[in-house]
């Protein structure tokens, strides 16, 4: 199908707006799974995004917003409306050399690009996030983190577009309600992250680079860049919130920073190596599902449901996905 014109959707044809029709979502998700989106709209500027959101809302056109697609499961049937992406990838630095600096990063920036930029400038706080795929907007949305640290620790404020009224607003860190893999943006689906202001302090670039290199090696071994997966499928669990029988079952060495890895329970429930059609749980990691090449969203959802059921029946625990769904 030929690319559609903005006017065909009631969109004002302005700079920064790119519209395409019948686009495979499999090409935009790390699982490489998903049917066609009727329309894909990329907005590279705030003005273009605001224009698109207001026009789609006025026309009551169904649409959904995605980022880099690294933590996303798209339906085999695709999406009958508009899939909207904010692709602005700007990273701006403020502050004198050797001092604490403020970085303003747009939601469409690749998270690894932000991490690399901070390390190159000798700014600490983001180095443990190295190797996490995806865009900054999704990382804010899900409060991405690893190795005992999360993105919210460096956040000063977040700007967002309220799709309900088309207005741009800003929240400070407290108002963002960051928690483990959570933020207010997960509760307000009509709020679209535009950018975040981060506060970072000077650190030894060599030590930052060494930390990032070590972490990247571990992550690439666990989640090879070529593997069609979303990293961990399920959130880890807060030890204090587990049912008493489950807590009694967990050895103290399995509790880290107050959390127990979902993989601990999944492995004991026999998850490793389980398959459903073209998708499989890794033989070496019970909380990792990957597409072997011809997997479908239906198979992926069915395998996730079976894993949740097994853990529920054995431990009385309800696992919660990190992945999001279209």
Using a pLDDT cut of 90, give the percent of the chain over it. 90
Segment among 35-39, 113-117, 145-149, 226-230 with least mean pLDDT: 145-149
Supply the pLDDT for residue 3.
52
Tell me the CATH number of domain 91-209, given options 3.20.20.450, 3.40.50.720, 3.40.50.2030, 3.30.465.10.
3.30.465.10
pLDDT at 92 over 80: yes
What Rg, from alpha-carbon coordinates, does the chain have? 20
For the residues 200-225, what does the mean pLDDT come to?
A: 95
Give, in words, the CATH class of 6-86. alpha beta
Across the chain, mean pLDDT equals 94
Mean pLDDT along residues 191-213: 96
* CB proximity list for 283: less than 8 A, separation 6 or greater: 272, 273
Q: What is the pLDDT of residue 56?
A: 93
Q: What percent of the chain has pLDDT over 70?
A: 97
Query: In the predicted model, is pLDDT for residue 12 greater than 80?
Result: no
Catalytic positions:
181, 232, 322
pLDDT reading at 14 higher than 90? no
Using the predicted structure, report yes or no on whether residue 2 has a pLDDT greater than 60.
no
Q: Which CATH number fits domain 224-325: 3.40.50.720, 3.90.78.10, 3.40.50.970, 3.30.70.260?
A: 3.90.78.10
Q: According to the model, what pLDDT value does residue 5 have?
A: 59
Could you tell me the residue ranges of all domains in the chain? Answer: 6-86, 91-209, 224-325
- Rounded to an integer, what distance in angstroms lies between the CA atom of residue 317 and that of residue 311? 6
For tokens 């014109």, what's the residue? 5
What is the average pLDDT across 272-295? 97
pLDDT in tens, 24-55: 999 999 999 999 999 999 999 999 999 999 99
What stretches of 45-135 show up as alpha helix (H) in DSSP?
Answer: 46-58, 111-120
Query: What sign does the CA torsion over 4, 6, 8, 11 have?
Result: positive
Ranking 99-103, 235-239, 251-255, 257-261 by mean pLDDT, the lowest is 99-103
Residue 213 in contact with residue 301, Cβ under 8 Å? no
For residues 157, 163, 168 and 173, what is the CA-based torsion angle, rounded to 10 degrees?
Answer: -10
The residue length of the chain stands at 326
Q: Residue 1 — pLDDT band, cuts 50, 70, 90?
A: very low
Q: In whole angstroms, give the CA distance from residue 155 to residue 139.
A: 11
Q: Which tokens go with 323? A: 């992945």
Q: Do residues 219 and 292 lie in contact, with contact meaning Cβ atoms separated by under 8 Å?
A: no
Better-scored residue on pLDDT, 181 or 7: 181
Of 1-5, 79-83, 91-95, 251-255, the range with the lowest mean pLDDT is 1-5
Q: Do 224-325 and 91-209 fall under one CATH topology?
A: no
């Amino acid at each position: 199908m030929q690319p559609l014109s903005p006017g065909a959707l009631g969109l004002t044809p302005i700079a920064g707006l790119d519209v395409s029709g019948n686009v495979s979502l499999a090409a935009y998700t790390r699982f490489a799974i998903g049917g066609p989106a009727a329309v894909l709209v990329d907005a590279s500027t705030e003005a273009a995004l605001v224009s698109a959101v207001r026009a789609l809302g006025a026309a009551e056109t169904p649409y959904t917003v995605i980022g880099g697609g690294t933590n996303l499961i798209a339906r085999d049937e695709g999406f009958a409306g508009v899939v909207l992406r904010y692709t602005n990838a700007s990273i701006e630095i403020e502050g004198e050399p050797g001092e604490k600096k403020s970085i303003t990063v747009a939601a469409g920036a690749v998270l690894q690009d932000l991490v690399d930029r901070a390390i190159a400038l000798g700014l600490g706080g983001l180095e443990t996030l190295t190797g996490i795929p995806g865009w900054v907007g999704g990382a804010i949305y899900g409060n991405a983190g690893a190795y005992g640290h999360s993105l919210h620790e460096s956040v000063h404020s977040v700007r967002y577009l309220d799709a309900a009224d088309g207005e741009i607003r800003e929240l400070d860190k407290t108002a963002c309600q960051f928690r483990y893999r959570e933020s207010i943006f997960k509760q307000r689906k009509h709020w679209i992250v535009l950018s975040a202001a981060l506060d970072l302090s000077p650190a030894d670039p060599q030590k930052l680079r060494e930390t990032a290199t070590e972490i990247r090696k571990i992550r690439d071994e666990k989640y090879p860049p070529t593997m069609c997966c979303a990293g961990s499928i399920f959130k880890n669990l807060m030890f204090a919130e587990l049912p008493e029988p489950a807590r009694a079952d967990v050895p103290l060495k399995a509790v880290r920073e107050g959390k127990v890895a979902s993989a601990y329970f999944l492995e004991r429930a026999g998850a490793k190596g389980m398959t459903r059609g073209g998708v499989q749980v890794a033989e070496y990691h019970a909380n990792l599902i990957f597409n072997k090449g011809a997997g479908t969203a239906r198979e992926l959802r069915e395998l996730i449901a079976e894993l949740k059921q097994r853990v529920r029946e054995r431990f009385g625990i309800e696992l919660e996905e990190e992945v999001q769904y279209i």
